[in-house]
Amino acid sequence: MTKLEEQLQKRSDNKCELCQSGDALKVYEVPPGPTSDADDSILICDTCRAQIDKKAELDSKHWRFLSDTMWSEVPGMQVVSWRMLNRLKQESWAMESLDMMYLSDETLAWAKSTGDHDNDDAVDLHKDSNGTVLQSGDTVVLTKSLDVKGTTLNAKLGTVVKNIRLVENNTEQIEGKIEGQVIVILTKYVRKQTV
């Protein structure tokens, strides 16, 4: 365990500094943090991190605690609170909180530096042809026969692809193994198989 992690665990009483959950806590260095110290980092759970990083749908009910965390004296907490309130500003409670929130000029510049606050709550998720969210390890079925570039392989309609992997930074692609070959498949040509 790093010294930073120890500091954050002590400061947070071993709970997510945002939602107070005790599950799967990890250090989150608030980008682009000036330094990697306790003021620029927070200890958060996987649920908060996934929504901050736009890897999960934004759940406005989950973030109601921002009306309290925005008053934290920790700059990293202030920055995350401000960014998330901006992403939720279509909610009246979030807009009211933003109107009351005060950040120093330096902290406000840090909060605005990623441009994340300008984005709406849209999330970049891998979705199949029906709009169902895909996760690494899922099993999918091809909804179209596909010729695989650079090979003689033809993946037939209805082919089951197990244990897929999501392509990082491209929500329209997944990787899967067909006939022993790992290929890239467009998400619009697959349907998630449900058990």
At residue 140, the pLDDT reads 94
The residues of the chain that CATH labels 2.30.30.40 are: 140-192
Classify residue 7 as left (phi > 0), alpha (psi -120 to 50) or beta. alpha
Q: Can you tell me whether residue 147 is helix, strand or coil?
A: strand
Q: Encode pLDDT of 51-76 as tens digits.
A: 998 888 888 899 999 999 999 999 99
Bigger pLDDT: 117 vs 154: 154
Whether pTM exceeds 0.85:
no
- Among 1.10.1660.10, 2.40.110.10, 2.30.30.40, 3.30.70.1230, what is the CATH number of 140-192? 2.30.30.40
Both structure tokens of 151: 């090979």
At residue 148, the pLDDT reads 81
d(CA 104, CA 102): 7
